[in-house]
């Protein structure tokens, strides 16, 4: 089973700040998906296949990475971006999620 480790676990960012969230896999994967979950709501697919933005996702978000290291970047933090972000690998069965990064507004 591929274990995904996200860092940091929790962080706070000010409006306008650049934010980078990291996801590391215990073995190489072909791509990574990212989900956003705001408090009290269902998760939403946010970035798929490492770098493709899901419908409606603002272009201040971007994704990158390969092999065992992937990242999600917010170019300029906005209030609505406060949420928990999860990475997920679909390359290898069983499909697994990272533990999440809680992003708060400073």
Partner 1 sequence: EVQLVESGGGLVQPGRSLKLSCAASGFTFSNYYMAWVRQAPKKGLEWVATISTSGSRTYYPDSVKGRFTISRDNAKSSLYLQMNSLKSEDTATYYCARHLMGFAYWGQGTLVTVSS
Contacting residues toward partner 1, per CB under 8 A: 1, 33, 35, 42-45, 48-49, 54, 86, 88, 90, 93-100
Minimum distance from residue 95 beta carbon to partner 1 (Å): 5
17 versus 71: smaller Cβ distance to partner 1: 71
| H/E stretch holding 10 | strand 10-13
49 versus 80: smaller Cβ distance to partner 1: 49
Minimum distance from residue 31 beta carbon to partner 1 (Å): 9
42 versus 59: smaller Cβ distance to partner 1: 42
DSSP symbols for 34-103: EEEE-TTS--EEEEETTTEEPTT--TTEEEEEEEEEEEEEESS--GGG-EEEEEEE-SSSSPEE---EEE
Minimum distance from residue 99 beta carbon to partner 1 (Å): 5
9 versus 69: smaller Cβ distance to partner 1: 9
Nearest to 36 by CA among 57, 14, 5: 57
Minimum distance from residue 33 beta carbon to partner 1 (Å): 4
């Amino acid at each position: 089973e591929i274990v995904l480790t996200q860092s940091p676990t929790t962080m706070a960012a000010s409006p306008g700040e650049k934010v980078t969230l990291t996801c590391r896999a215990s073995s190489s994967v072909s791509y990574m998906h990212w989900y956003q979950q705001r408090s009290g709501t269902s998760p939403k697919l946010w970035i798929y296949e490492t770098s493709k933005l899901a419908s409606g996702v603002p272009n201040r978000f971007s994704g990158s990475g390969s092999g065992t290291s992937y990242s999600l970047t917010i170019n300029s933090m906005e209030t609505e971006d406060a949420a928990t972000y999860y990475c997920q690998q679909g390359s290898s069965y069983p499909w697994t999620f990272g533990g999440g990064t809680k992003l708060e507004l400073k």
